[in-house]
Amino acid sequence: MPEDTAVLEGPGGIMVDMETVDNGQAETVERVLRLVGVTLDDLATEWEELARTVIPQPGALRTDSILQLVHDFASAPGKLLRPRMVHWGWVAAGGAGTGGGIDSVVRIGAALELLHCFALVHDDVMDASATRRGRPSVHALAAADHRAHSGLGEADRYGENIAILVGDLLHSEADLLVGGLPQPLRAAWRTMTIELMIGQGRDLVGAANGRRDLRHAVEVAHAKSGAYTVGRPLQLGALAAGGGPELAALLAEYGRHAGQAFALRDDILGVVGDPAHTGKPVGDDLVAGKPTVLLVLAEQRFDPQWRRRLHHIGREGVSRDEVDALCAELIRSGVIEEAEQMIEASVDAAARTLESPLVDDLAAAGLRRWASLMAWRNA
């Protein structure tokens, strides 16, 4: 069963199956997955044609491992949130009534999935994360391959280099899908990718500078996660259906609120989540000293002793015990509770934006449900 069928915990502990509330876009998601598969098959055909004259040395590392890593990672979909948001943006602009633009919706959805894979692969390299989606990360797999074949040089550096190529190839294939779309969609795609890189850059620079201010943390979460996950996909879907600027602005406002709830839940899952559901170890963001909202709230709530320990985060030599202790203090001090309240306020604000007559009633109902699902998910 793919990750997108995970059961999520909503307000009051009510368990909700994502597919149950998402039947309206099942066909779109299925078409997106088929296009991802076709794109990967076409890539493999092109790769094999270009590499047909290369004869690998028996028992040695193979360049084809790059293609295999691309295929394996992109063939294991996650929650498919971005294609779903494209679909609901399309519905919001009346696309479900006319059927117009559905082919563009599918292409955008598939491109977003490949772009997301690129972002995850490179993010794991930047964060030195050993796992992703409950399995070894791409750079960890490549490093293990290097060791298994007794390769020369540093296995970890080799793994990172291979992962960079894997991510680059995924990004290239995403752009290839977008290249055939109408100009307004291509322009919106470019804006989204630039915004994503700005967010990632702010994340890295903020960690290096030891930033602990709320404005910076919120901006990073919005650019790196919220806008790219919710707001921009919604706008792309609306554009595909011919939606106008007023609707685009409204969806951007919804996306800002729902995206903030999504990003805050990511932060919380990084501290108190179950690795069996999240697929990543608890405390990775703390080890990296990322400028998250949780760390900002911790600066405000922690007593002097814990603030001193907090300032050690992001530096070399942080032990697992220290990370576990800080995670526990985030709960005890009320930081997690305050973040939960922020999430609830964001969900309410997102729902209010959908009261506009500009939004199709079906889309408004679906997006209200999705704001809650993204906010109270368990993975």
**220, part of any domain:** yes
pLDDT of residue 10: 41
Give me the residues paired with residue 17 across strands.
7
Amino acid identity for residue 179 in this structure: G
Q: Which of 211-215, 282-286, 324-328 has the highest mean pLDDT?
A: 324-328
pLDDT of residue 132: 87
For 136-148, the DSSP string reads E-HHHHHHHHHHH
The total number of structural domains in the chain stands at 1
Whether 18 has a pLDDT exceeding 80, the answer reads no
Query: What CATH number does the domain containing 35 carry?
Result: 1.10.600.10
Whether 19 has a pLDDT exceeding 50, the answer reads no
In this prediction, residues 215-237 reach a mean pLDDT of: 84
**267, part of any domain:** yes
> Hey, CA dihedral for 39, 86, 257, 328, is it positive or negative?
negative
Whether 12 has a pLDDT exceeding 50, the answer reads no
**8, part of any domain:** no
Which of 178-182, 224-228, 353-357 shows the lowest mean pLDDT across its residues? 224-228
% of residues, the chain, pLDDT over 90: 56
Q: How many CB atoms are closer than 10 A to CB 99?
A: 10
**6, part of any domain:** no
Whether 7 has a pLDDT exceeding 70, the answer reads no
Which of 21-25, 192-196, 210-214, 279-283 shows the lowest mean pLDDT across its residues? 21-25
Amino acid identity for residue 249 in this structure: A
**CA-CA distance, 123 to 139, in Å (whole number)?**
11
In this prediction, residues 67-95 reach a mean pLDDT of: 93
In this prediction, residues 201-224 reach a mean pLDDT of: 79
Tell which wins on pLDDT, 56 or 254: 254
Kind of pairing, strands 7-9 and 131-132?
A: unpaired
**7, part of any domain:** no
Place of tokens 């752009």: 175
pLDDT of residue 108: 98
Whether 283 has a pLDDT exceeding 80, the answer reads no
| 378: CB partners within 8 A, 6+ apart | 6, 7, 8, 9, 269, 273, 274, 277, 278
**5, part of any domain:** no
**CA-CA distance, 373 to 347, in Å (whole number)?**
10
Label residue 315 by pLDDT band (50, 70, 90).
low
DSSP 166: H
Residue 117 tokens read as 């894979």
Whether 41 has a pLDDT exceeding 70, the answer reads yes
**34, part of any domain:** yes
**360, part of any domain:** yes
Average predicted confidence (pLDDT) for the chain:
86
pLDDT digits (tens, 9 = 90+) for 89-148: 999 999 988 888 999 999 999 999 999 999 999 999 998 888 887 789 999 999 999 999
Whether 76 has a pLDDT exceeding 90, the answer reads no
Tell which wins on pLDDT, 373 or 276: 373
Q: Is residue 258 within 8 Å of residue 350, measured between CB atoms?
A: yes
Domain that holds residue 175: 16-375
Residue 43 tokens read as 């890539």
